Amino acid sequence: MKILQIITALFFITILPSAAFAETQMDTDPFATGSQFDSKPLDEHQQDEQDMTDLWTICIVIVACLLIARIAFQIVKKRMKKSN
């Protein structure tokens, strides 16, 4: 029974968040000639803003995953105490 709970917790911690925040951008072939030069390059300020936005997104996802993991472990801990 404990193995099942551990597997469930690991599923919710690892696989579920990655599936929720997965992003696919395969509209064009990445190896096609000239596809990497189709978009206009960002200037330095726009690139810094994009990097900061990406960093904030990653941090928010990490914090959300940690909160979910903490709640899940508290629930598992309470259920284990009740079963004993």
Sign of CA dihedral 25, 31, 33, 34: positive
What pLDDT, in 10s, does the model give residues 8-34? 777 777 776 666 566 655 556 556 655
In this structure, what token pair is assigned to residue 73?
A: 């472990």
Within a domain: residue 34? Answer: no
Q: Could you give the number of structural domains in the chain?
A: 1
Residue 83 predicted with pLDDT over 60: yes
Q: Is residue 33 part of a domain?
A: no
Q: For position 72, what pLDDT does the model report? A: 93
The phi and psi torsions of 22 (rounded to 5 degrees) equal -70, 145
The more confidently predicted of residues 18 and 80 is 80
Domain assignment present for residue 24? The answer is no
